[in-house]
């Protein structure tokens, strides 16, 4: 095998390296190009399209290109956020893969000078009947929990989704959010000739060597055996590193700071140098290794966790030693900033690698991939629901829905995460968005992560738009105004024209929604090659979103509060059952035309809901998504074990009304006195809103056109919904 192939490069890429260097690269240099020019680090297959994103806005202080994006939330504070995939490592070693995913994203946040205050995650698995899937679910949830819990960052929201398309490729998308004072923003830049380059935190070992190139290939049997590429996380070390770095950032000695993630020391050094327009010279002999006999190549590409590169003003190194010593951590000067634009690697003073830093960081060839609308799209969208019989007993159907893994309570998952540490969590998991208070202000932030990948499969453009709109509805229902997006684009192989069509159209869809809702994309991540020999995942552009809650006292949850309150359905219910959870869970069908999204109408609807919340008119708000009106209605009842008496007049078939996933809808409750004011708000905005029933004691009764179609007891429903996951997991 050709040496360049062993590091995952193509012949034309190798030729380009030779052209850049004017000579053949040596082994260390080749390994460095191999990891930096991998898809994972270089975004070579996505860069051209990512440029399309709407990334600007009045609140944006830092857009894509840094370790995390930053938005202004007023009062001198800003929020840093980022989402990142750790799919391949989690598939091979679920516990460590997920744990180090959380570790990496936390470092991206505190690298920016922000203190992490919340974690979120979107995790996706194959069918839960499979023992392999259960093992993955157990390991991944435990990995996420153990890491975040130990560092002391609350995991306040997320989503857990099951679909057979993830049977061989589970997805782990970890998101972290931090707070900082605007004046404290730090960046990953190396400037100032002679300034010191310091490596701090954990020692360097052989773990995770080649992880970045590993993440950029299909999962095969060999890769399952290739476990040396998996890193091991040490959350205790991370906690100390976080505290030490945040203490260090408050001093005046830091010029730039960057975490060592994929491609380790190679990426941290070439990226900081490239961003600063400078060069860096480091001596690998000064790096503290935890194994004997590590070669320069191994040291340069090791992905040992919990390490940071800090560019320190010359003469101020002692302050760094003092702080890191206090926390019991290593800190060593491994090199210095130069002005020649080169990344020069020495071993005991002797040059072992020397390449232009920017060629490593940004020099990879950009691939303009071709794309073609996949044939399956037309075939699947023509499916007609009218041919399917309406279930005779809709009460039974509802119970089946409530038990299905995608709808059932995810308490089994989120109770393994400490979601309260930090004592800021105002709205806890199990509803729409998570809400945190911002101590020292009247404000709060609402956070969510969403994607409907079934929609994205059936129609990537509309599906991606829906995902953004659903995130915005979750934020709105919690009392927040959406302000920014971080996205994690999980796809199969970009070399497949159909997949590239999915990718391109997802980006265009996100973009349309993001422009209209004024929620710029401030950071993100792309994960390709999520496919096995047998199957490819559905396109999964996960949307992480943050919103501002102007007055934290107005934050809202989904739970019905008092008997006698009126239930209001906001938005129009149409015959939109294509791609629904209902079709999938009851009929095993994943087809049809996905619900239409009119972003302008969504925006108006959100304005109305927010206005009703801010005026103190309503007591609960829940957005309608998977499972439609009836599932959302059920979810509102569970916490306080209240029932409903609902009467619907509709032209639609009963099951279609109940389970339709028409977009732009909410369920609100309010005391009767406020109904007139609430309806007026929506009427003025041209948004449909009507009272459909009231909150009652413990019976769950729904009549359609005067006929009773559902008659259940809330306790029975709750036990079906709540008991489902634990029951499946204990089988």
Partner 1 sequence: MKAGVVVFPGSNCDSDVYSVLKELGADVKYIWHGEDKIDVDLLVLPGGFSYGDYLRCGAIARFSKILEGIYDYVENGGYVIGICNGFQILTELKLLPGALLKNMDLKFICSDCILEVSNDNTFFSRLYKKGERVNFPIAHGEGNYYADDETLKELERNNQIVFRYVNNPNGSRNDIAGIINKKGNVLGMMPHPERRASSLLGGTDGIRLFKGMIESFK
Specify whether the CB–CB gap between 92 and 533 falls below 8 A: no
Q: Is 434 in the site for partner 1 (CB under 8 A)?
A: no
Rama region for 158: left / alpha / beta (φ>0; ψ in -120 to 50; rest): left
User: 684: which residues sit within 8 A by CB, 6+ positions away?
Assistant: none
* 363-402 footprint of partner 1 as x/- string (CB under 8 A): ----------------------------------------
* Beta-strand relationship, 540-549 and 666-670: unpaired
Rama region for 116: left / alpha / beta (φ>0; ψ in -120 to 50; rest): beta
Torsion of CA 145, 510, 609, 557, to 10 degrees: -10
Minimum CB distance to partner 1 smaller for 268 or for 329: 329
Pairwise CA distance, residues 168 & 132, whole Å: 9
Pairwise CA distance, residues 201 & 241, whole Å: 6
Annotated ligand binding at 524? The verdict is: yes
> Bridge-partner residues for 312, per DSSP?
196, 254
Q: Is 239 in the site for partner 1 (CB under 8 A)?
A: yes
425: Cα within 13 Å, side-chain hemisphere? 23
Q: What is the 3-state secondary structure (H, E, C) of 297-308?
A: HHHHHCCCCCEE
To partner 1, the closest distance from the beta carbon of 429 in angstroms equals 9
* 307-346 footprint of partner 1 as x/- string (CB under 8 A): --------------------xx------------------
Binding residue (CB under 8 A) for partner 1 from 43, 110, 371, 419: 419
Q: Is 492 in the site for partner 1 (CB under 8 A)?
A: no
Question: Where is 132: in which H helix or E strand?
Answer: helix 131-151
* Beta-strand relationship, 481-490 and 434-437: unpaired
Closest CA to 402 of 729, 138, 715: 715
* 677-696 footprint of partner 1 as x/- string (CB under 8 A): --------------------
**How many Cβ atoms are within 10 Å of 290's Cβ, its own excluded?**
13
Which region among 236-244, 267-275, 311-319, 588-596 touches partner 1 (by CB under 8 A)?
236-244
Which region among 22-30, 148-156, 173-181, 664-672 touches partner 1 (by CB under 8 A)?
148-156
Specify whether the CB–CB gap between 530 and 87 falls below 8 A: yes
Binding residue (CB under 8 A) for partner 1 from 416, 604, 611, 671: 416
Binding residue (CB under 8 A) for partner 1 from 54, 62, 100, 149: 149
Binding residue (CB under 8 A) for partner 1 from 348, 370, 387, 423: 423
Minimum CB distance to partner 1 smaller for 194 or for 726: 726
Q: What is the 3-state secondary structure (H, E, C) of 475-487?
A: HHHCCCEEEEEEE
Closest CA to 108 of 82, 88, 87, 89: 82
* 517-556 footprint of partner 1 as x/- string (CB under 8 A): -----------------------------------xx---
Minimum CB distance to partner 1 smaller for 284 or for 427: 427
327: Cα within 13 Å, side-chain hemisphere? 24
Pairwise CA distance, residues 462 & 539, whole Å: 12
Closest CA to 725 of 430, 453, 421: 430
Pairwise CA distance, residues 113 & 185, whole Å: 5
Annotated ligand binding at 527? The verdict is: yes
Binding residue (CB under 8 A) for partner 1 from 33, 371, 414, 659: 414
Q: Is 620 in the site for partner 1 (CB under 8 A)?
A: no
Binding residue (CB under 8 A) for partner 1 from 45, 266, 406, 425: 425
Minimum CB distance to partner 1 smaller for 100 or for 425: 425
To partner 1, the closest distance from the beta carbon of 20 in angstroms equals 44
Q: Is 440 in the site for partner 1 (CB under 8 A)?
A: no
86 is catalytic: yes
Question: Where is 532: in which H helix or E strand?
Answer: none
Q: Is 151 in the site for partner 1 (CB under 8 A)?
A: yes
Which region among 97-105, 210-218, 392-400, 412-420 touches partner 1 (by CB under 8 A)?
412-420
Residues in the chain: 731
Q: Is 422 in the site for partner 1 (CB under 8 A)?
A: yes
To partner 1, the closest distance from the beta carbon of 549 in angstroms equals 11
Which residues between 564 and 583 bind partner 1 (CB under 8 A)?
none
Annotated ligand binding at 688? The verdict is: no
Pairwise CA distance, residues 465 & 316, whole Å: 49
202 is catalytic: no
Q: Is 234 in the site for partner 1 (CB under 8 A)?
A: yes
Query: Which tokens sit at 4?
Result: 């360049």
Annotated ligand binding at 304? The verdict is: yes
Specify the residue for token string 């959010």: 177
Minimum CB distance to partner 1 smaller for 23 or for 439: 439
Q: Is 235 in the site for partner 1 (CB under 8 A)?
A: yes
Residues forming contacts to partner 1 in the complex (CB under 8 A) are 142, 145-146, 149-152, 234-237, 239-240, 327-328, 411, 414-426, 428, 437, 439, 552-553
Q: Which residues are annotated as a binding site?
A: 43, 82, 84-88, 107-108, 231, 259, 303-305, 487, 524-525, 527
- Residues forming the active site: 40, 86
Q: Which residues are annotated as a binding site for ATP?
A: 43, 82, 487, 524
Q: Which residues are annotated as a binding site for Mg(2+)?
A: 84, 108, 259, 525
């Amino acid at each position: 095998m050709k040496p360049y192939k062993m590091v995952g490069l193509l012949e034309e890429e190798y030729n380009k390296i030779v052209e850049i260097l004017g000579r053949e690269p040596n082994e260390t240099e080749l390994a460095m190009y191999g990891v930096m020019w991998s898809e994972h680090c270089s975004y070579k297959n996505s860069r051209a399209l990512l440029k399309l994103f709407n990334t600007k806005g009045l609140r944006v202080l830092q857009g894509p290109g840094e370790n995390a994006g930053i938005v202004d939330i007023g009062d001198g504070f800003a929020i840093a956020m980022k989402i990142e995939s750790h799919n391949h490592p989690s598939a091979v070693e679920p516990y460590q893969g997920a744990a180090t995913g959380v570790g990496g994203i936390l470092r991206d946040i505190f690298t920016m000078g922000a203190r992490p205050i919340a974690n979120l995650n979107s995790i996706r698995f194959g069918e839960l009947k499979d023992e392999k899937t259960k093992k993955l679910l157990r390991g991944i949830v435990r990995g996420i929990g153990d890491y975040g819990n130990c560092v002391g960052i609350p995991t306040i929201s997320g989503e857990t989704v099951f679909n057979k398309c993830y049977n061989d490729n589970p997805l782990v998308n970890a998101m972290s959010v931090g707070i900082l004072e605007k004046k404290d923003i730090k960046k990953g830049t190396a400037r100032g000739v002679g300034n010191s380059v310091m490596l701090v935190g954990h020692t360097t070992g052989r773990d995770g060597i080649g992880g970045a190139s590993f993440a950029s290939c299909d999962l095969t049997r060999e890769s399952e055996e290739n476990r040396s590429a998996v890193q091991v996380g040490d959350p205790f070390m991370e906690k100390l590193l976080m505290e030490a770095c945040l203490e260090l950032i408050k001093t005046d000695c830091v010029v730039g700071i960057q975490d060592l993630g994929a491609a380790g020391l190679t990426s941290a050094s070439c990226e900081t140098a490239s961003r600063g327009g400078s060069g860096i010279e480091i001596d690998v002999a000064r790096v503290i290794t935890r194994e004997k006999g590590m070669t320069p190549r191994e040291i340069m590409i090791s992905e040992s966790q919990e390490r940071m590169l800090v560019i320190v003003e010359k003469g101020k190194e002692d302050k760094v030693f003092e702080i890191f010593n206090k926390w019991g951590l290593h800190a060593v000067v491994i090199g210095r900033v130069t002005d020649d634009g080169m990344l020069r690697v020495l071993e005991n003073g002797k040059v072992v690698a020397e390449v232009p830093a920017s060629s490593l960081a940004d020099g990879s060839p950009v691939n303009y991939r071709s794309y073609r609308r996949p044939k399956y799209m037309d075939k699947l969208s023509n499916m007609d629901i009218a041919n399917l019989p309406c279930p005779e007993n809709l009460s039974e159907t509802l119970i089946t829905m409530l038990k299905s893994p995608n709808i059932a309570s995810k308490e089994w998952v989120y109770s393994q995460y400490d979601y309260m540490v930090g004592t800021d969590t105002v709205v806890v998991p199990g509803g729409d968005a998570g809400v945190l208070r911002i101590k020292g202000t009247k404000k709060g932030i609402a956070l969510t992560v969403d994607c409907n990948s079934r929609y994205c499969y059936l129609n990537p453009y509309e599906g991606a738009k829906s995902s953004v709109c659903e995130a915005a509805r979750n934020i709105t229902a919690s009392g927040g105004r959406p302000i920014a997006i971080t996205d994690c684009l999980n796809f199969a192989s970009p070399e497949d024209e159909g997949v590239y069509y999915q990718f391109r159209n997802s980006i265009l869809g996100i973009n349309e929604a993001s422009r209209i809702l004024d929620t710029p994309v401030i950071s993100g991540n792309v994960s390709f090659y999520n496919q096995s020999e047998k199957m490819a995942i559905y396109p999964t552009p996960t949307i992480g979103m943050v919103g501002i809650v102007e007055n934290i006292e107005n934050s809202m949850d989904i739970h019905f509060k008092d008997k006698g309150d009126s239930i209001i359905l906001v938005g129009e219910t149409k015959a939109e059952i294509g791609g629904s959870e209902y079709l999938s869970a009851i009929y095993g069908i994943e087809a049809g035309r996905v619900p239409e999204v009119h972003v302008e109408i969504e925006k108006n609807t959100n304005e109305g809901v927010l206005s009703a919340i801010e005026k103190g008119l309503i007591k609960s708000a829940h957005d309608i998504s998977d499972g439609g009106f009836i599932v959302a209605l059920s979810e509102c009842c569970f916490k306080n074990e209240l029932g409903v008496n609902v009467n619907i007049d509709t032209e639609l078939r009963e099951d279609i009304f109940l389970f339709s996933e028409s977009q732009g809808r909410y369920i609100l409750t309010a005391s009767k006195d406020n109904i007139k004011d609430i309806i007026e708000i929506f009427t003025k905005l041209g948004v449909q809103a009507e009272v459909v029933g009231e909150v009652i004691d413990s019976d769950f009764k729904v009549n359609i056109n005067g006929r009773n179609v559902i008659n259940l007891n809330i306790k029975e429903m709750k036990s079906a919904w709540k008991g489902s996951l634990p029951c499946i997991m204990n089988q």
